[in-house]
Amino acid sequence: MATSGEPVLEVSGLVKHYPLTRGVLFKKQIGAVRAVDGVDFTLGRGETLGIVGESGCGKSTVAKLLCNLERPTAGSIRFKGEDITRLSGRALKAVRRNIQMVFQDPYSSLNPRMTVGDIVGEPYEIHPEAAPKGDRRRRVRDLLDVVGLDPDFVNRYPHQFSGGQRQRIGIARGLALRPEVIVADEPVSALDVSVQAQVINLLDRLQTEFELSYVFIAHDLSIVRHISDRVGVMYLGRIVEIGRDAEIYEHPTHPYTQALLSAVPVPDPDARQDRERIILSGDVPSPTDIPSGCRFRTRCWKARERCAVEVPLLAVPASFEEGPAAHDSACHFAEEKRVVPPESTQANGNGPG
Amino acid sequence: MLLEVRDLHVEFRARDGIARAVNGVSYAVDEGETLAVLGESGSGKSVTAQAVMGILDMPPGRITGGEILFQGRDLLRMKEEERRELRGARMAMIFQDALSALNPVLSVGEQLGELFTVHRGMSRKAARARAVELMDRVRIPGAAQRVRDYPHQFSGGMRQRIMIAMALALEPALVIADEPTTALDVTVQAQVMDLLAELQREYRMGLVLITHDLGVVADVADRIAVMYAGRIVESAPVHDIYKAPAHPYTRGLLDSIPRLDLKGQELYAIKGLPPNLTRVPAGCSFHPRCPMARDVCRAEVPPLYEVSEDRGSACHFWRECLDGDER
């Protein structure tokens, strides 16, 4: 979907540190988990921004910050120009209507003692101005219909539904207040393969129907590519590379993005031989003890002295003036490297379908 | 043949009836071969593996028919003591969740060493030395120091390596890996799969890889058995199945993978949901979700038709599916 006009969301310098304390009576801060450590991005109207990264990279914390479920340690989140991190009370409540979340686990994010009708209609209890009381029942039924569930299910309980159906309930709840932005945190990763495609198609259709902007957080790179206009790659609390989907997938310049893409198994046995895989050594460092300089350097095969001293900024590297490689990448030694085989093997007549 | 499962049936007594979790499954793995068993949750892929290993909870589970031949001998007719001797030594299993599969109150060195003291009668000191060697072999940095650490002190990827080390310690002929990398991040998944493939080549063991990930399968498998609702619906060499699936369920799974040339379009989605195992549809259990279903599919259970010498499909219309113009 095309981007137009000014962004719906502008995130700059976003930081979330969770203090680590010691002692019961006299709590002393002895460190911090630097979950999100300086994140900047914008989200255009009607756009989908995918955020990928491995566990512990801070992508879910970003989601919580966007929905104001957590307060940032520093930085700002502007929704149509207004910094929502400084709002409180009534003003905050009004903004929250416009940014809704769809959670990962449809098993734990629905209250088992509430009926589907109550779950989907609950946002109206909190924001009564969104729908007059007499109209709510009808709206809930409409919402169920929109997400592909039988409206007669309103009196059923979550346990009577499958995972995919529950995720539809979660999506219906997210739509209830007619938000402009939906933050979806791993919305399909708990679902069976054959059901994932159904939910992705639903999200795609709803985006057009309700003119939504999505922040789509996931670890499955092929699904993110399918749904996103732009993609940001996170590592240890920061975005290390961001750009249009083709720029990231076909012309990655950050070594972490290259390793991540090369590690994804390709569903084509013929690609086994001609694939180059970058196998990273070691594990992700702890977010309580982030390496100096470039945070990826401890696992990077290109690391030199400069990387330990100087933090690379997220900007278009000077070596690329134009073309698809010229997008933001936080690496001192950014270099283009194609790691995903061109799709010709799948696009020709041999592929399934 | 190293392992041959023949017409296996496993039932579970559930509150709402009898769940036929495994309903006539047959597959075979040879030495040095990797068989991927692909299926969604509830397809019976893990239950089959548990029956092979002899770790199925009975009750509520019950094996109601079939044979499991391991190096020619039927495991289901063996005494429990005999099976216990095989388990760990000749056949081993790698689980998805290493944290719950390892004992939290024993150091990893004790758990690895135990295999050698119990099965090989080694002294504790010698067993500890072997444990360090093994940890080295699966590339755990600083193995000599870390041998005293407890499972929770390791990262997810390192714990999975320890499980692999445990499974391979006594050089078994058969290893069953049940979603070994599902809980891991992609970069770590690549490390672990690489290690597993390397060790398999080295020891020439037969590997049954249980997974739902079509990407992982394409990367490592020689053959695939696709399971749906307790049955094998397609069985074929890996290259054949990705080129042209002979069962509409396999085709549906492959088609629902996002593809570059179809970006911006709707993804192909298999309609509906996998069936409840206590009420599996009559005839072909996939028919309510199948775009090719006809009257015969609702009435007759399709046998595994021979597509070619080493390939089978449980679809009445496998020829049409193979030609692939109908969907």
| Structure confidence at residue A346 as a pLDDT band (50, 70, 90) | very low
User: Is the pLDDT score of A4 beyond 80?
Assistant: no
Q: Residue A229's pLDDT is what?
A: 94
Domain range enclosing A276: 254-345
Mean pLDDT across A13-30: 86
Q: Which of A255, A243, A245, A342 is nearest to A298 (CA)?
A: A255
Tens-place pLDDT, residues A232-272: 999 999 999 999 988 999 899 999 999 998 888 888 888 77
Q: Residue A351's pLDDT is what?
A: 36
CATH number reported for the structural domain that contains residue B305 in this entry: 3.40.50.300
Residue of A nearest to B141 (CA): A282
Residue B253 contacts A where some CB pair is shorter than 8 Å: yes
**Chain B interface test: which of A224, A268, A301, A344 (most B C-beta within 10 Å):** A268
User: Is the pLDDT score of A344 beyond 70?
Assistant: no
Q: What ipTM, to 2 d.p.?
A: 0.75
Segments of chain B with pLDDT less than 50: 326-327
Percent of chain A at pLDDT > 90 equals 46
Supply A321's token pair.
């003036």
CB contact under 8 A, A193 and B261: no
CB contact under 8 A, B267 and A197: yes
Provide the mean pLDDT of chain A: 87
Sort strands B3-14 and A328-329 into parallel, antiparallel or unpaired: unpaired
Tens-place pLDDT, residues A198-229: 889 899 999 999 999 999 998 888 889 999 99
Provide the mean pLDDT of chain B: 88
Of B186, B260, B261, nearest to A54 by CB-CB distance is B186
Tally of domains in chain B: 1
Q: Which residue among A123, A157, A178 closes a domain?
A: A178
Residue A162 contacts B where some CB pair is shorter than 8 Å: yes
CB contact under 8 A, A164 and B273: yes
CB contact under 8 A, B185 and A222: no
Q: Residue A89's pLDDT is what?
A: 86
Q: Helix B248-255 to helix A193-210 angle, to the nearest 10 degrees?
A: 50
Q: Which residues contact B311 (CB under 8 A, 6 or more apart)?
A: B235, B236, B237, B240, B246
Q: Residue A2's pLDDT is what?
A: 47
| Structure confidence at residue A313 as a pLDDT band (50, 70, 90) | very high
Does residue A236 fall inside a structural domain? no
Give the three-class secondary structure for A16: strand
Tally of domains in chain A: 2
Residue A323 contacts B where some CB pair is shorter than 8 Å: no
Q: Residue B325's pLDDT is what?
A: 52
Q: Residue B327's pLDDT is what?
A: 38
Could you tell me how many CB contacts below 8 A there are between chain A and chain B?
132
Q: Residue B326's pLDDT is what?
A: 41
User: Is the pLDDT score of A1 beyond 50?
Assistant: no
**Paired strand residues for A45:** A4
Residue B124 contacts A where some CB pair is shorter than 8 Å: no
What residues of chain A, 268 to 287, have a C-beta less than 8 Å from chain B?
Answer: 268-272, 277, 279-280, 282-284
Does residue A275 fall inside a structural domain? yes
Does residue A124 fall inside a structural domain? yes
Mean pLDDT across A63-71: 91
CB contact under 8 A, A260 and B263: no
Mean pLDDT across A316-340: 86
Mean pLDDT across A121-130: 90
Burial A303-339 (b: 16+ CB within 10 A, else e): beeebeeeebebebbeebeeeebbbbbbbbbbbbbeb
How close, in Å, is residue A61 to chain B by CA atoms? 17
Of B244, B256, B327, nearest to A194 by CB-CB distance is B256
Mean pLDDT across A303-328: 88
Q: Which residue among A121, A147, A178 closes a domain?
A: A178
With beta carbons under 8 A apart, name residues in chain B contacting A229. Answer: none
| Structure confidence at residue A5 as a pLDDT band (50, 70, 90) | low
Q: Which residue among A124, A150, A178 closes a domain?
A: A178
Domain range enclosing B76: 3-324
Does residue A167 fall inside a structural domain? yes
Within 10 angstroms of residue B294's Cβ, the number of other Cβ atoms is 11
CB contact under 8 A, B258 and A350: no
Could you give the CA distance from residue A182 to residue B263 in angstroms, rounded to a whole number?
21
Mean pLDDT check: name the lowest of A329-333, A336-340, B7-11, B37-41: A336-340
Does residue A117 fall inside a structural domain? yes
Q: Which of B48, B321, B163 is nearest to A353 (CA)?
A: B321
Could you give the CA distance from residue B75 to residue B71 in angstroms, rounded to a whole number?
10
Burial label for B320, CB within 10 Å (0-12, 13-18, 19+), is middle
Does residue A161 fall inside a structural domain? yes
Residue A349 contacts B where some CB pair is shorter than 8 Å: no
CB contact under 8 A, A265 and B218: yes
With beta carbons under 8 A apart, name residues in chain B contacting A343. Answer: 259-261
Does residue A16 fall inside a structural domain? no
CB contact under 8 A, B215 and A266: yes
How close, in Å, is residue A46 to chain B by CA atoms? 14
User: Is the pLDDT score of A287 beyond 50?
Assistant: yes
With beta carbons under 8 A apart, name residues in chain B contacting A149. Answer: none
Residue B279 contacts A where some CB pair is shorter than 8 Å: no
CB contact under 8 A, A353 and B266: no
Report pTM. Answer: 0.82
Residue of B nearest to A220 (CA): B186
Burial label for B59, CB within 10 Å (0-12, 13-18, 19+), is exposed
| Structure confidence at residue A341 as a pLDDT band (50, 70, 90) | low
How close, in Å, is residue B72 to chain A by CA atoms? 31
CB contact under 8 A, A343 and B189: no
What residues of chain A, 27 to 56, have a C-beta less than 8 Å from chain B?
Answer: 54-55
